[in-house]
């Protein structure tokens, strides 16, 4: 699978709706690039962000009533500007954990920090480093900055 789309906090519903139906919801790690630029480590969540109660209707109290499945990325890099419009390409390489509801924001923050820690460790492994130079995320075949990346895979596959 390959996905590229305009970068924003969330992917468009059309992208999320085309994910494999049997794809487990949760947090993934991988490599990604913006506008065919440097390749960065990344985490990516797919599912209902239960803490924020993502819904199509703001009046829904249940996280699954009128729920909107989302796919969000976090590139491990500090950019000078926000992204509104650039093309984002990702290769997902592994699964970190299922989606979970958190009672408190600090619990969510700790989980995200752990996701980043796990992703960095996994992406530094030889088996995953080779995908950093994959022509899909890095058309020039050049290595990107080790500080940030986006990837997702059920085993090595492209998104």
The SS3 assignment for 38 reads coil
Q: Please report which confidence band the pLDDT of residue 153 belongs to, taking 50, 70 and 90 as the band edges.
A: very low
| pLDDT for residue 10 | 66
- DSSP letters, 88-126, are EEEEEEEEEE-----SSHHHHHHHHHHHHHHHHHHHTSH
pLDDT tens sequence across 9-58: 467 778 888 888 888 999 999 999 888 788 999 999 998 766 555 555 44
**Does position 151 have pLDDT exceeding 70, yes or no?**
no
Please state the separation of Cα 89 from the chain's center in Å.
10
Q: Is 13 a catalytic residue?
A: no
Q: What does the alpha-carbon distance between residue 151 and residue 24 come to, in Å, rounded to a whole number?
A: 15
Q: Which residue out of 13, 72, 113, 142 is catalytically annotated?
A: 72
pLDDT tens sequence across 57-77: 444 444 555 567 788 888 888
Count the alpha carbons within 13 Å of 58 in the hemisphere toward its beta carbon.
0
Mean predicted lDDT score pLDDT of the chain: 75
Which CATH number does 3-133 carry?
A: 2.40.30.30
Per-residue tokens: 80: 């000078």
**Does position 158 have pLDDT exceeding 70, yes or no?**
no
**What is the pTM (predicted TM-score) of this model?**
0.73
More confident residue, 115 or 74: 115
């Amino acid at each position: 699978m390959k996905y590229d789309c305009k970068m924003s906090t969330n992917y468009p519903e059309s992208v999320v709706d085309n994910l494999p139906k049997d794809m487990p919801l949760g947090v993934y790690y991988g490599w990604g690039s913006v506008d065919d630029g440097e390749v960065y480590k990344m985490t990516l969540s797919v599912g209902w962000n239960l803490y924020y109660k993502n819904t199509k209707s703001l009046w829904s109290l249940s996280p699954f009533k009128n729920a909107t499945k989302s796919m969000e990325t976090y590139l491990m890099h500090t950019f000078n500007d926000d992204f509104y419009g650039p093309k984002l390409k990702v290769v997902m390489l592994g699964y970190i954990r299922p989606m979970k509801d958190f009672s408190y924001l600090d619990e969510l923050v700790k989980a995200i920090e752990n996701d980043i820690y796990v992703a960095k460790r996994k992406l530094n492994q030889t088996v995953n480093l080779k995908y950093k130079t994959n022509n899909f995320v890095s058309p020039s075949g050049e290595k990107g900055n080790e500080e940030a990346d986006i990837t997702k895979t059920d085993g090595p596959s492209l998104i």
